[in-house]
Structure 1
């Protein structure tokens, strides 16, 4: 599906003075998928049809991202995002869920599992921020407030597309994927919100979790694109070492956006971790990505 089709599936829930846009499809055990920066829920659109055959799939846009609330005046850090997601799950009546986090979404998932352990039945971290390893240098540079004035939304789109295509994928992504991942940030409002998102990037918020990782009790799987140059696989190895019982699955021939580079391998690893015994036959209409 293209990004407009995906956006049309989104619902909205209010959380106090803020709101979250999200997709809610399928039936079964709840499965929450968290995106990173500079993406949004569309990141998971290629896997959504297959995952919704076995699970109730919930994909929020983080506050300040995608088509969730992008107004000024609130904390967008991963610690605050975890608190917002706790409230969002409560609002939807979801007691707990398997949680999969990619990039900064993985940092948020770590906060959920450690600070709100009742919410997380299983934890999967994909090419996740952790320790003092965080995303592209461009994201850090983007966090300078002056960027809002120096770059038009069009100029910023060009820079982001070059960065994502150059470092994010092991092979050419499917047509429209990069444009779709960046679509919410193509306007001046979106550009400004993304800059505010980048300002909130803070390694202290993963470093503070490090002493608590060895005490995590939730079943954990670490799935990593083996060729990622943004967050190299050594960080996945360290996560799997620090978290009790965690196991690392390396996805070969995949970079940062492993769910697009190798969707079948990622789905196989997810199904195994989620305990799906009767796995649907994954055909082109059910699984989208550059290797399908």
Structure 2
């Protein structure tokens, strides 16, 4: 099944970054402070953000989702307002431990999740764990947005390749705002690019708590995706719960090619394609993402 949507824009209910932070709470993981937010009523929906940003990515779709769901999100370790320890073995598996422990600690028996980019790999790992019977909760559905679900068709930017190289530490610590903006803007579609305040906020999240100093550690997830490719792709192929891919087709990193690969490898693939939308569909066209997700959940009833 596939749908194609021409993007529409809405900015109603957008949270400022300051307001987003003030509305959150912190909890401890391995001795480190983790920023989280929870709101709404209904079945629990866990939002899992991408690299190199944070849970604030969801701020534009958040007001719509909380009308129908109990929505939970956090900044993973090393991201956003959470702690960013320098000497830490960052990994997708550890971030999945963080999410799993958080959900189980809240006593949630069933959750849905929506994941983007880096968060898609975390979601795949959680699906694999459920299939192994090691989770204390059930994943009722999974929705993915523009992530490298299949590493063989992932097309990283040059800056991402450099961060993974032997020079990664130098490039990470020396990353200027101008270089960040130049590369980050390439990820967005032409219709709703980030404005000046958006870029200010993204930069603030990146540099908060000396975030530039660990980018070269965080980005090693690209190698993890290759190493765990069979496990994580297999988790998608063996999944019994409903799944949907919402794809911004103008994304140069994990857009149209990723959606094609999803249709090739996933049984009865459910794909919604958003035209003229880049790597951050939930930020660029929140109403379209909400509509696609709402229809997905209605289809489960």
- TM-score between both structures, scaled by the size of structure 1: 0.85
Question: What is residue 265 of structure 2 aligned with on the other side?
Answer: 242
Q: Deviations over 1:11-53 (max 9, x none)?
A: 1111232332111111111111111111101100001111111
Q: Structure 2: where are the runs of 5+ without partners? A: 1-14, 132-136
Asked if the contact 2:172/2:214 (under 8 Å) is kept, the reply is no
Q: Distance in 2 between matches of 1:259 and 1:204?
A: 26
**Quick check: 2:77–2:84 contact (8 Å CA) kept in 1?**
yes
Residues 55 and 105 from structure 1, CA distance in 2 versus in 1: closer, same or farther, beyond 3 angstroms? same
Of structures 1 and 2, the one scoring higher in RCO (CA 8 A, sep 6+) is 2
Q: Which runs of 5+ in 1 are unaligned?
A: 278-292
| Secondary structure at the counterpart of residue 60 of structure 2 | coil
Spell out, residue by residue over 1:128-156, the C-alpha distance to the aligned partner (whole angstroms, 9 max, x if none).
Answer: 11221444332231234644445656x43
Query: Greater CA deviation, 33-42 or 108-117?
Result: 108-117
Q: Which residue of the other structure, out of 255, 263, 274, is the alignment partner of 1:232?
A: 255
Q: Report the Cα distance in structure 2 between the residues aligned to 1:96 and 1:156, rounded to whole angstroms.
A: 43
The aligned length equals 276
Alignment of 1:165 onto 2:185: yes
C-alpha deviation, 1:267, in angstroms: 1.1
Cα deviation, residue 91, structure 1:
1.6
Give the structure 2 partner of residue 63 of structure 1. Answer: 77
Is 84-93 or 109-118 further displaced after alignment? 109-118
Give CA-to-partner distance per residue, 1:154-195, whole Å, 9 cap, x none: x43221211121332333324422222231222571111323
Please tell me whether the aligned partners of residues 81 and 208 of structure 2 are also in contact (alpha carbons under 8 angstroms). no
The whole-number CA distance in structure 2 between the counterparts of 1:245 and 1:276 is 14
Q: Is the 8 A contact 1:2 1:176 kept in 2?
A: no
Residue in structure 2 matching 1:22, options 25, 31, 36: 36
- Specify the alignment match of 2:124 in structure 1: 110
> Aligned with 2:253: secondary structure?
coil
Aligned mates of 2:80, 2:237 — CA distance in 1:
33
Check the 8 A contact 2:188/2:250 in 1, yes or no. Answer: no
Deviation sequence 1:104-133 (CA, Å, 0-9, x none): 111111111122354421001111112214
The structural deviation recorded for 1:199 is 3.3
Structure-to-structure mapping, 1:170-189, within 5 angstroms: 170-171=190-191, 172-186=193-207, 189=210
Q: After TM superposition, give the deviation of residue 198 of structure 1 in Å.
A: 1.7
Distance 1:15 1:263, change over 3 A: same
**Counterparts of 2:190 and 2:281, CA distance in 1:** 8
Which secondary structure does the structure 2 equivalent of 1:272 belong to?
helix
Distance in 2 (CA, whole Å) between partners of 1:145 and 1:188 is: 24
Displacement over 6 Å in runs of 4+: none
2:170 is equivalent to residue 156 of structure 1: no
User: Whole-Å Cα distance in 2 between the matches of residues 5 and 15 of structure 1?
Assistant: 24
Q: Which residue of 2 aligns with 1:204?
A: 226
Give the aligned partner of residue 141 of structure 1: 162
Offset of residue 7 of structure 1: 1.3
Tell me whether 1:13 sits opposite 2:27 in the alignment.
yes
CA RMSD after TM alignment: 2.3
